[in-house]
Structure 1
């Protein structure tokens, strides 16, 4: 080989050598965006101390607030489940992670509670078994009293108080409590929801929270505000809160996988131009199961049941604090629902679509509400492969902008615009509305897991048999109180 080729060969070998080094460097993570090792801060409300560094279980801090104060971007907080509630909020303000390295909150099944004990000595008798407690201020939301873990009934005003009831006067920050005969406040071990919200985010992004229970807050269990992107909740419970179990606002983004929301006012209430995806959620025993007022939302493989007023209620909105809200299509509210079982157990509405909102529901079941599906004149509904059973009013469609087909209905009334059709006027309803050409009225059987069965032949679309109702049964199990 001529000598003139040697320098070139040498340069090639050198390049190969440095390329190999570079590969080793990249593989080892030295030059990766994630090369900084995230810190884990441990919290233990029995053995911890806020004087500790929190970097190991043996040196746990005592409070969540201290752990958050120690954290930086993409760190991790791990709560010890000591069997004793953490009586403090969990507030993240402009602290979170990045898309490749989310901040992690591991709850390990621990409970975060908004309750604070009330000093029995501070209650003053005003006669006839009624006592009053003066507070410095009233927390935001819908505060209430708790006695030995149970919420006490509230009176609408002070003048109609009955034994065992309380009235919270927000203007004066006074609580009035009518004791049962022969009892005083000290006999009740009274506590109050004096913290506003539990897991609270304010312009904090890329946070993954799992295995956490938030209860007894005056406002929300999980409250997400501001510029919050990439938020994930996994295996969480929100219960006994004054307003919402889970709520996201503004234009934030939220994914929820496996959640149980019960005994709140709203189980879920997402608003403004927010975006949320719920998979595997049970919402029950709230006043309203799911309320969506603005934004895009998805409910898939969920069960909404036994809520007092409405199961699912969606409505368009015009939030004045968002730029151009009146022209923002996201504020009109869009819901995609699939494999959802809605069991009314006497509630007024199964699915209510109002004020310009849009609902797409397929492979679902609605049973037991006064009205199965209600759509006002400004709104849209696309209903397919869904069973509506045991509802006095099966459909109440006040809008011409609806599409319904390949559904099964049990006997009941059908309202189309201003006309009411009885079950034996099925063909008249079909002709007038030009809806449901392939749908049928049958006696339906609906199982507790959402499975639907009917005596008639299978629905056929595009040459294939179609499943009416959920294609997968709801079988998730959740920890009870």
Structure 2
């Protein structure tokens, strides 16, 4: 009888448990606050300023609610373990409210070195899977084998060679006269050993590797209303034995693939758009990816048939604001 009473208590607790709300505002918040209120007049109970702090103080089943201040959140965050997990009835949730998580930093003017002619080079922190942005959009990237082919670069085009970003300016202009930024942070959101997690209505852009990486041993993960764009490798990557669902989302302008799967992972894509403007819609290595009920195969014809049609309300470009 004691065992059954204990089991019933656990069932009732998991059914009725409700997490707390943690409010984040990267303009007016303060990480010394508790984050229990969105109002600034509440003093120490007011919003905190970083998602990182919110994840550190969060408990199972909590909701982290971001204010869309118009200023990007410039962080790289990780969800890991029980405190960043939820229950089936009460998932751990990040509510983006349309905010942007951005991994870029401006290219220092004195970081550019002249190569020859109108071509300049810059050494980023991370040497692979880079992105170069020009005026808030990814600049046009081309592929060259080595520096002997630099003459094939056209004005405002760039390439990544030997770990260096090479950019060709317009005639009689230096690189310092442009608004150029590069991928300074590695991954936007990493999930590791979590379950029952939702990430909603968030844009993730400009990271060196992946916008969102569902790394390993993650189950019941839902990414809904996500725009993941202009990242060095992929918009979303799902690996290990993880299980994730991508719903009503938009991936585009990523470097190697829009959606990436590896290991024994399974990814379900529903009512989403994967733009093949800069890289294939999907890349998978042993993983299973299912798009609107059809499993992606290795056959080119099948892959072609599985290209997603843009929704009527989807923007023409993932970088349109």
TM-score by length of 2: 0.81
Q: 1:269-418 maps to which residues of 2 (within 5 A)?
A: 269-284=260-275, 285-300=277-292, 314-315=297-298, 349-352=300-303, 366=305
Check the 8 A contact 1:293/1:315 in 2, yes or no: no
Number of residue pairs matched by the alignment: 296
Larger radius of gyration: 1
User: SS at the partner of 1:51?
Assistant: coil
Name 1:131's counterpart in structure 2. 120
Check the 8 A contact 1:292/1:314 in 2, yes or no: no
Match of 1:110 among 94, 99, 104: 99
* Runs of 5+ unmatched residues, structure 1: 1-21, 303-311, 317-348, 353-364, 370-448, 451-473
CA RMSD of aligned residues (A): 3.1
Shift of 1:75: 1.4
Distance 1:166 1:297, change over 3 A: closer
Distance 1:47 1:170, change over 3 A: farther
Distance 2:115 2:253 in 1: 32
Per-residue CA deviations over 1:377-423 (Å, capped at 9, x if unaligned) read xxxxxxxxxxxxxxxxxxxxxxxxxxxxxxxxxxxxxxxxxxxxxxx
Check the 8 A contact 1:118/1:192 in 2, yes or no: yes
TM-score by length of 1: 0.55
Check the 8 A contact 2:290/2:296 in 1, yes or no: no
Distance 1:475 1:131 in 2: 40
Name 1:195's counterpart in structure 2. 185
Per-residue CA deviations over 1:271-308 (Å, capped at 9, x if unaligned) read 21112222111112242112333234322179xxxxxx
Match of 1:233 among 178, 202, 223: 223
Check the 8 A contact 2:17/2:90 in 1, yes or no: no
Per-residue CA deviations over 1:331-359 (Å, capped at 9, x if unaligned) read xxxxxxxxxxxxxxxxxx4424xxxxxxx
Residue 477 in structure 1 maps to residue 304 in structure 2: no
Q: Which has the higher contact order (CA 8 A, sep 6+)?
A: 2
* Runs of 5+ unmatched residues, structure 2: 41-45
User: SS at the partner of 1:214?
Assistant: strand
Distance 2:161 2:288 in 1: 37
Distance 1:47 1:126 in 2: 43
User: SS at the partner of 2:281?
Assistant: strand
